[in-house]
């Protein structure tokens, strides 16, 4: 009888096994068709493998470098005499990193990370409220609040998490949020999670924002949400006008400063400093994973009661492991270096202008203005991808951006200028663009 029971179980299981295999085969067919559609549209995103540390000069698996150049591992500041200069006879010039200040491989930043690793360990094996808060976490939060001239700050694993945690914890069905249509995906996703009434205004369109604010007057809180600097287009939000409208209609202002913290404004505080509205922006979210060392981590800074509420209710904070000590140590040292001198900010303005003016003189259309994000607008996704591949063959690492990262018909190659690019690096990049642009018919 036992044997019969096993036999009956095996028989009854066979159809389920066949159904499972059939479902898996169906899934594979669906996925392969979807992937083939991405390839066919020319929007496939490959991942190039870097075999060196991040910097203006990198090494890429399977790609031989172009002419020799120099790596400047550090800020071009008089006080940083310990900067390391390494020469190389080959390598690829990287023009698409968020390494705006060149701190990803700065020797003092690396050393601070090593020291934190030795002193505080590899990780916390915990979230913050259980046993995941160390003195270095609290010290960095206090330093970030001082840097932004705010009351308090809270760390997250990423700024994506900071944006995912803010709106749901702060806003209720009684409230309203008004968002620029081209805000970063993390802001869009964060807003989707909250139960507030949602308004989307046209990109940088203050008349449309005002109309939406008028519609939202019946709600308890009204929060205007915008990127400070928009990562795909390199344009900057008109914060003076936004803050004026917010004051006029009793709204609060939230700004995502991921592509501004460290290098926009006279002392690198961001777009609110650049435009003179630091005292009018209520909440700032930003990242440690770009200009401030480039490793990982994000944060919210603003009123102390808000930060306290986020510690109690923000799900990405409550249910994610604490930032690793090495990451905290690196970011803290990066912030120290930035606050010691603002010379780095001045150097970036001239380098950005050099690239933009030379590219426009060659006949390219560069989106945005005065930001080190310099999108070379091409329109066609396949053209952007092919040109980026040919740029790599000439020793320049850039990436084509296409749908769904940017709207259809607005494909581009996004170039990003770093403080550690030399004028020769910039000129070499422009020359390669001109050569490849003519090869593909993007230039006459």
> Position of tokens 């939230």?
254
What is the C-alpha to C-alpha distance for residues 329 and 109, in angstroms, rounded to an integer? 8
What is the C-alpha to C-alpha distance for residues 370 and 428, in angstroms, rounded to an integer? 20
Annotated catalytic residues are 231, 259, 290
Contacts of 366 (CB under 8 A, 6+ apart): 234, 356, 359, 360, 374, 375, 376, 377
Show the DSSP H helices in 275-313 as ranges.
Answer: 304-313
Tokens (6 digits) for 338: 């930035």
Residues 433 and 414 sit within 8 Å (Cβ to Cβ): no
Contacts of 73 (CB under 8 A, 6+ apart): 55, 83, 84, 85, 86, 102, 105, 106, 107, 420
- DSSP strands (E only) in 14-164: 57-58, 69-73, 84-88, 92-94, 152-156
3 state DSSP class of 272: helix
In 3D, which of 82, 144, 136, 135 has the Cα closest to residue 109? 82
What is the C-alpha to C-alpha distance for residues 332 and 329, in angstroms, rounded to an integer? 5
- How large is the angle between the packed helices 343-362 and 423-439, nearest 10 degrees? 20
Bridge partners, residue 252, by sequence? 223
What is the C-alpha to C-alpha distance for residues 243 and 399, in angstroms, rounded to an integer? 35
Contacts of 124 (CB under 8 A, 6+ apart): 131, 132, 134, 321, 322, 324, 325
Tokens (6 digits) for 44: 């496939």
What is the C-alpha to C-alpha distance for residues 247 and 261, in angstroms, rounded to an integer? 24
């Amino acid at each position: 009888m036992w044997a019969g029971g096993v036999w009956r179980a095996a028989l009854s299981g066979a159809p389920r096994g066949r159904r499972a295999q059939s479902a898996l085969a169906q899934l594979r067919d669906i996925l392969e068709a979807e992937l083939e559609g991405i390839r066919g549209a020319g929007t496939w995103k490959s991942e190039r493998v870097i075999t060196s540390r991040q910097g203006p000069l990198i090494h890429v698996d399977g790609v031989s470098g172009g002419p020799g150049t120099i790596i400047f591992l550090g800020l071009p500041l008089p006080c940083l005499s310990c900067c390391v200069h390494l020469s190389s006879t080959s390598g690829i010039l990287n023009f698409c990193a968020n390494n705006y200040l060149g701190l990803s491989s700065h020797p003092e930043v690396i050393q601070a990370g090593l020291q934190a690793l030795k002193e505080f360990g590899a990780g916390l094996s915990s979230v913050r409220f259980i046993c995941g808060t160390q003195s270095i976490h609290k010290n960095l939060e206090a330093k970030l609040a001082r840097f932004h001239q705010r009351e308090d700050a809270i760390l997250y694993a990423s700024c994506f998490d900071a944006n995912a945690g803010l709106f749901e914890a702060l806003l209720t069905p009684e409230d309203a949020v008004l968002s620029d249509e081209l805000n970063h995906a993390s802001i869009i996703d964060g807003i989707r999670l909250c139960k507030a009434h949602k308004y989307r205004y046209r990109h940088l369109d203050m008349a449309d924002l005002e109309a939406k604010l008028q519609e939202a007057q019946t709600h308890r809180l009204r929060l205007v949400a915008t990127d400070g600097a928009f990562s795909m287009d390199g344009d900057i939000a008109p914060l003076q006008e936004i803050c004026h409208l917010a004051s006029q209609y009793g709204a609060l202002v939230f700004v995502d400063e991921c592509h501004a913290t460290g290098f926009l404004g006279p002392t690198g505080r961001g777009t609110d400093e650049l435009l003179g509205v630091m005292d009018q922006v209520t909440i700032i979210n930003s990242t440690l994973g770009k200009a401030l060392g480039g490793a990982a981590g994000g944060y919210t800074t603003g009123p102390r009661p808000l930060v306290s509420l986020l510690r109690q209710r923000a799900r990405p904070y409550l249910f994610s492991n604490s930032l690793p000590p090495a990451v905290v140590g690196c970011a803290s040292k990066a912030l120290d270096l930035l606050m010691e001198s603002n010379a780095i900010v001045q150097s970036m303005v001239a380098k950005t202008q050099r690239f933009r003016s030379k590219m426009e003189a060659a006949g390219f259309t560069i989106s945005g203005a005065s930001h080190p994000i310099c999108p070379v607008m091409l329109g066609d996704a396949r053209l952007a991808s092919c040109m980026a591949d040919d740029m790599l063959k000439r020793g320049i690492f850039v990436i084509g951006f296409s749908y769904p990262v940017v709207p259809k018909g607005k494909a581009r190659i996004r170039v990003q200028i770093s403080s550690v690019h030399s004028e020769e690096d910039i000129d070499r990049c422009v020359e390669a663009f001109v050569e490849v642009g003519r090869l593909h018919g993007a230039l006459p």
